[in-house]
Amino acid sequence: MTSRRLRLAGVLARRGAQGVGVAVVVSVLCFLLVLRLPGDAAYRIAAGRYGYDLVDQEAAAAVRAELGLDRSAWHRLGDWLIDLAQLDFGTSLVTSRPVAEEVGYYLLGTLQLAAVALAFAVVIGAGAGVLAARRPSGPVDRLTTAWVASVRAVPPFLLGLLLVVVFSAQLELLPAVGHGTPASLVLPAATLGLGLSGLFARVTRDAVVEVRSSEYVQFARTKGLAERWVLLRHVVRNAAVLVVPYLGVQAVVLIEGVVVVESLFSWQGLGHALVHAVFWRDVPVLQATALVLALLIVAVNTAVDLVVLWLDPRPRGSGVSA
């Protein structure tokens, strides 16, 4: 199947180019940030590093020199991109530790959270979607529709607050903040997963309804195949062809959710680190976390493309007219 290999190469080339593009956009934005750093930025960074009480003009001057605020902008943009190409993210302006090391630690936290949340969303969402598809406009379907709408209308931070109020403050079942224990993962993952599950339910429902009413499923039935096999052999795979690409779209929502939920629950992940970096103007950490988060999206999309390639033998966008 050389055509499949060609399409594989196409996917990898396209996603690779996207990754590079993302890296350029993120680092140019970060560079602009450094250029535009207001006068007291060095002072503020120094304060972040040593604490407001201990900071003095000398420390601020040291920071200013470290940022190289005296050289020309183009020169610095060049250096900036070269450093990036060598995967040299520098050291954190706040903790003075190598950024790569910090980001590695935070990445692990984010991956844990995202994986559990995604599994949660897929199980709940796909389950509800399949149930709703059994009887379109039946009671389960209507319930799912209402669920989808209300989950969409509640931003993750609000959902998180509600869960904290109910499970942590009122029922005292789960910790509201913290990192490391399985119990502390439950609320953030549930917040993130619940938010995603609504959209999943909707897409799964539509896909299953569409596939079940397709002519090939109807034909599989009239061939004499038992319903169980019709579902397993025809509905699941074809519905997956429709649902899986949606995971790629969801990656953006997932990452946005990660940023919010990690801040809310003080979960040690990239989003938490990013918000802190924005607050303290810790540019190297800011750049690295934003970059890794964006590349995570590209990675999820690459995986999605590969799965679709494996599921569906048809070439994209083909067709010659009569």
Partner 1 sequence: MTDPNAADTLVVHRAVVRTPTTVLVDVRDITVRAGRPLTIVGESGSGKSVLAHALMGTLPPELAAEGSMSIGRSRFDLAERAGRRSLWGRQVALLPQEPALALDPTMRVRDQVAEGAPGWRPRETAALKRADDRLERLGLEGAGRAFPHTLSGGMAQRVAYAAATIGGADILLVDEPSKGLDRESLDRLAVMLAAHVERGGLLVTITHDLGLARRLGGDVVVMQDAAVVESGPAEEVLTRPVHPYAKRLLAAEPSKWSAPWTRDNLRADEAAEPLVTAHRVSKAYTGKPLFQDLSVEIRPRERWAVVGPSGVGKTTLGNALLRLTDIDAGWVRHSGTTRGGRIQKLYQDPGLAFPRRVPLESSVRDVMRRHRVDERHVRSLLDEMGLPFAILRRRPGQVSGGELQRIAIARAMLPRPVVLFADEATSRLDPVSQATTMDLLMRQVTGDGCALLLVTHDLDLAEAVGARQIRLGADEEASL
Partner 2 sequence: MTSPLLATAADTATGGRRRPLARRTAIAGLGVLVAFALVGPLVLADPAAQDLDRYLQGPTLLEPLGRDEYGRSVVARVAHATRLSLLLASACVATALLLGTAAGIASAWFGGWVDAVLRAVSEAFVALPALLVVLLVSALASGGSLWALYLGLALAQWVEYFRVVRARSALVMGSAAVEASRLLELGPGHIVRRHLLPDLRPVLVTLASLGMVTSILAMSTLGFVKVGLQPPRAELGLMITEAFPFYDVAPWLSIAPIAVLFVLTICFLTLRDSEETA
Kindly tell me which of 86 and 318 has the beta carbon lying closer to partner 1.
318
Chain CA centroid to CA 299, Å: 10
Instruction: Tell me the C-alpha distance between 83 and 67, whole Å.
Output: 14
Kindly tell me which of 52 and 229 has the beta carbon lying closer to partner 1.
229
Residue 155: contacted member of partner 2, partner 1, none (CB under 5 to 8 Å, by partner type): partner 2
One-character DSSP codes across 12-38: HHHHHHHHHHHHHHHHHHHHHHHHT--
**Least distance in Å: CB of 183 to partner 2?**
22
Letters for 228-267 (x = contact with partner 1 by CB under 8 A, - = none) are: -x---xx--xx--x--------------------------
Letters for 30-69 (x = contact with partner 2 by CB under 8 A, - = none) are: x-xx--x-x-------------------------------
For 91, the 3-state DSSP assignment is strand
- Scan residues 249-308 and list those touching partner 2 (CB under 8 A): 252-253, 255-256, 259-260, 263-264, 274-275, 278-279, 281, 286, 290, 293-295, 297-298, 301
Which of 290, 191, 208 lies closest to 246 in space, CA to CA?
A: 208
Query: How many CA atoms are closer than 13 Å to the CA of 208, on its beta-carbon side?
Result: 23
Instruction: Tell me the C-alpha distance between 24 and 29, whole Å.
Output: 8
Q: How many helices (H) and strands (E) are present in the chain, helices listed first?
A: 13, 0
DSSP 135: S
- Kindly state the tokens that stand for 321: 């007219």
Kindly tell me which of 36 and 316 has the beta carbon lying closer to partner 1.
316
Residue 260: contacted member of partner 2, partner 1, none (CB under 5 to 8 Å, by partner type): partner 2
**Where do we find the tokens 């060598």?**
86
**Least distance in Å: CB of 213 to partner 1?**
8
Residue 144: contacted member of partner 2, partner 1, none (CB under 5 to 8 Å, by partner type): none
Kindly tell me which of 209 and 225 has the beta carbon lying closer to partner 2.
209
- Scan residues 120-159 and list those touching partner 2 (CB under 8 A): 149-150, 152-158
- Scan residues 167-226 and list those touching partner 1 (CB under 8 A): 213-225
Kindly tell me which of 93 and 217 has the beta carbon lying closer to partner 1.
217
Residue 91 φ/ψ, nearest 5 degrees: -115, 155
**Least distance in Å: CB of 1 to partner 2?**
27
Cα–Cα separations (whole angstroms), residue 270 to 106, 107, 261: 5, 6, 11
Chain CA centroid to CA 229, Å: 35
Instruction: Tell me the C-alpha distance between 219 and 211, whole Å.
Output: 12
The residues that touch partner 2, with contacts defined as CB under 8 A, are 17-19, 21-22, 24-26, 29-30, 32-33, 36, 38, 149-150, 152-158, 161, 165, 169, 210, 213-215, 252-253, 255-256, 259-260, 263-264, 274-275, 278-279, 281, 286, 290, 293-295, 297-298, 301
